[in-house]
């Protein structure tokens, strides 16, 4: 079978492979990281989220989400409501800790540019879950920006800790770090 090569568009090469676009991704990455950090810090410093009686705020959130399952076009789909009812509602303390520290860790990782693609994936996954639970807020904006950061994983952490981490440790699909080809430096 003949192999076909489909060339990358110039704009795609610039945005996702060229280190000159790192400044754009730095601004986006720090903004998204700041939003996660502020939300996570507020929760991680609140005893209602991480204290001995943690779980009250998440119970309120879940109650609101489950109330949005009624009607012809519900804000929360039945399958997601079943997930919340069976896996999250029974363990509010544990989920409260996961949310608080997850948001905080994603924020810190994005601000310093460490493991940017992975941290962004987890932030995007949290945004998706908040959207599925019927909460809009800034979630669509952060979700959309996160897609760009994930696509630009090679460059989005270039001005940050990933500049040192990726060449040193490589990627899971790359056995020999010395043969790594990084972003285009032009």
pLDDT digits (tens, 9 = 90+) for 16-60: 999 999 999 999 999 999 999 999 999 999 999 999 889 999 999
The radius of gyration of the chain from alpha carbons, rounded to an integer in Å, stands at 20
Reply yes or no on whether the pLDDT at 94 is more than 60.
yes
- Please tell me the predicted confidence (pLDDT) of residue 171: 75
Q: Model confidence at 114, in pLDDT bands (50, 70, 90)?
A: very high
Q: Which two tokens stand for residue 105?
A: 């860790």
- Please tell me the predicted confidence (pLDDT) of residue 174: 73
Q: 């790594």: which residue's tokens?
A: 180
Residues contacting 127, CB < 8 A, separation 6+ = 139, 140, 142, 143, 146
For residues 64 and 122, the answer to whether their CB atoms sit within 8 Å is no
In the chain, DSSP finds a helix count (H) and a strand count (E) of 10, 0
- Please tell me the predicted confidence (pLDDT) of residue 111: 98
For the chain, what are the domain ranges? Answer: 37-160
What share of the chain has pLDDT > 70, as a percent? 92
Reply yes or no on whether the pLDDT at 124 is more than 80.
yes
pLDDT digits (tens, 9 = 90+) for 70-88: 888 999 999 999 999 999 9
Mean pLDDT over the full length of the chain? 91
Alpha helices in 113-161 (DSSP H): 116-132, 139-151, 153-156
pLDDT digits (tens, 9 = 90+) for 145-172: 999 999 999 899 999 999 999 888 877 6
139-165 burial, b if ≥16 CB within 10 A, otherwise e?
A: beebbebbebbbbbbbbbbbbbebbee
pTM for this predicted structure: 0.87
Average pLDDT over residues 60-65: 94
- Please tell me the predicted confidence (pLDDT) of residue 168: 86
């Amino acid at each position: 079978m003949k192999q076909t090569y489909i060339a990358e568009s110039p704009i795609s090469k610039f945005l996702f492979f060229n280190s000159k676009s790192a400044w754009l991704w730095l601004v986006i990455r720090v903004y998204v990281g700041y939003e996660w950090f502020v939300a996570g810090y507020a929760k991680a410093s609140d005893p209602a989220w991480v204290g001995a009686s943690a779980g009250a705020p998440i119970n309120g959130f879940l109650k609101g989400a489950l109330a949005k399952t009624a009607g012809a076009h519900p804000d929360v789909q039945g399958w997601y409501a079943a997930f919340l009812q069976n896996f999250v509602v029974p363990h509010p303390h544990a989920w409260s800790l996961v949310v608080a520290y997850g948001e905080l860790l994603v924020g810190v990782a994005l601000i310093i540019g460490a493991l940017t693609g992975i941290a962004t994936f987890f932030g995007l996954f949290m945004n998706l879950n908040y959207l599925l639970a019927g909460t809009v807020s800034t979630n669509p904006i952060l979700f959309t920006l996160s897609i760009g950061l994930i696509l630009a994983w090679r460059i989005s952490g270039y001005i940050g800790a990933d500049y040192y981490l990726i060449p040193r440790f490589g990627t899971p699909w790359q056995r020999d770090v010395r043969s790594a080809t990084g972003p285009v430096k032009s």
